[in-house]
Amino acid sequence: MLRRISPLVLLSLTVVLFTSYVAPDKRAKVLIHTDFGDIKIVLYDETPKHRDNFLKLVANKTIDSTLFHRVIKNFMIQGGDPDSKKAKKGQMLGNGDVGYTIPAEFHPNLYHKRGALAAARQGDDVNPNKESSGCQFYIVEGSVYTDSSLDVLIKQRIEQPAKQKIFDAYINNPANAAFRAGFIRAQQRAQQLRLQDSLIYYSNLVNPIIDAEYAKTPHRVFTPEQRKTYTTFGGTPFLDGGYTVFGEVVDGMEVVDVIASQPRDKNDRPLRDVKMTIKVIK
């Protein structure tokens, strides 16, 4: 005779079934194969231009047989340079491309945590819009930070450069020509006579102006989530806001660690070639 299941038990079973169900991850995934092992990566939907371009590169086998040509322990491993396919030993790499760039796709929730996949690019001096290379990428190995080191990083990499730009704009404004002339004389006096009094005087005049202007402009800070990640899991926070992050390693970080630890030459190219092939996976 069948026992009647009480409504309470049925409800409990339903809750267990629903809470144990995990929706399948429908995001695109790729597998990077190397002699050191495989690296499984998921591509973010929040960066569709970079995702679609990477999938195109994989489909066309553009990246196959390229090298991880630049590796730095506790920092990152970089690859995807087409010139690396037939590169001679010791040849400097990193300038190859596919003839186009990808517009930057910065997203506040995508940052350089350990395992992040991001696009390499040319420097700000020739690439002020921070457009990404059409083929070169890197995977973050990174290191663990403390809260105090993150605060120092904000000051050195974010606050000071921003304030320098404000100062440059102020001193080069024709309306402030008299201040500029006086400041230059003060600099010369400080250099020649090793007297800082005049320079301090002009700095004290302009610093409140810079601080007030800096306070008006939005500037990047680390969210509580980012701080927790960087102080426990690690990453390269000083790259945030400068390079597009468009994926992350979901399996195979130990392979990234091994590659990052390879002996390398003065250009950070591994002495032993680290070739890759990439395929799309389910």
Here the CATH number for the domain that contains residue 123 is 2.40.100.10
247, β-bridge pairs? 43, 117
**Are 187 and 257 members of one domain?**
no
Model pLDDT, residue 184: 87
Q: What is the full per-residue pLDDT of the chain (282 aa) written as tens digits?
A: 445 545 544 445 454 555 555 677 889 999 999 999 999 999 999 999 999 999 999 999 999 999 999 999 999 999 999 999 999 999 999 999 999 999 999 998 999 999 999 999 999 999 999 999 999 999 999 999 999 999 998 888 878 888 898 999 999 999 999 988 988 888 887 777 666 777 787 788 888 888 888 787 766 678 999 999 999 999 999 999 899 999 999 999 999 999 999 999 999 999 999 999 999 998
Q: Do residues 101 and 198 both lie within one domain?
A: no
Structure tokens belonging to residue 126: 């020739």
- Record the tokens describing residue 19, joined without a space: 């809470």
Q: For residues 99 and 108, what is the distance between their CA atoms, to the nearest angstrom?
A: 29
Check whether residue 139 and residue 243 sit in a common domain: yes
Q: Give the model's pLDDT for residue 243.
A: 97
Cβ atoms within 10 Å of 177's Cβ, excluding its own: 11
Q: Are residues 125 and 237 in the same domain?
A: yes
Same domain, 134 and 249: yes
Number of Cβ within 10 Å of residue 58's Cβ equals: 20
Q: Which residue, among 123, 116, 84, 86, has the nearest Cα to 101 in the 3D structure?
A: 123
Are residues 134 and 254 both part of a single domain? yes
Phi, psi angles (nearest 5°) of residue 258: -65, -45
Specify whether the CB–CB gap between 246 and 58 falls below 8 A: no
Distance CA 171, CA 35 (A): 56
Does the residue 1 lie in any domain? no
Question: What is the 8-class DSSP label of residue 4?
Answer: P
Token pair for 41: 């990566």
How far, in Å, CA of 137 to CA of 54, rounded? Answer: 10
pLDDT score for 5? 44
- Burial pattern 119-147, b for ≥16 Cβ within 10 A else e, equals bbbeeeeeeeebbbbbbbbbbbbbeebee
Is 93 a member of any domain?
Answer: yes
Phi, psi angle pair for 73, to nearest 5°: -60, 140
Rounded to whole angstroms, the Cα distance separating 28 from 41 reads 9
Q: Which amino acid does the sequence have at 221?
A: V
Residue 54 CB neighbour total at 10 angstroms: 28
DSSP 8-state secondary structure symbol assigned to residue 5: P
Report pLDDT for 1. 44
Domain count, the chain: 2
Q: Which two tokens stand for residue 87?
A: 């590169």
In a domain, 196, yes or no: yes
Burial class (CB in 10 A: 0-12, 13-18, 19+), 18: exposed
* 16 in a structural domain: no
**Full-model pTM:** 0.80
How far apart CA 245 and CA 36 sit, in angstroms, is 24
**What is the extent of the structural domain holding 73?**
29-144+233-281
The tokens of 105 are what?
């796709």
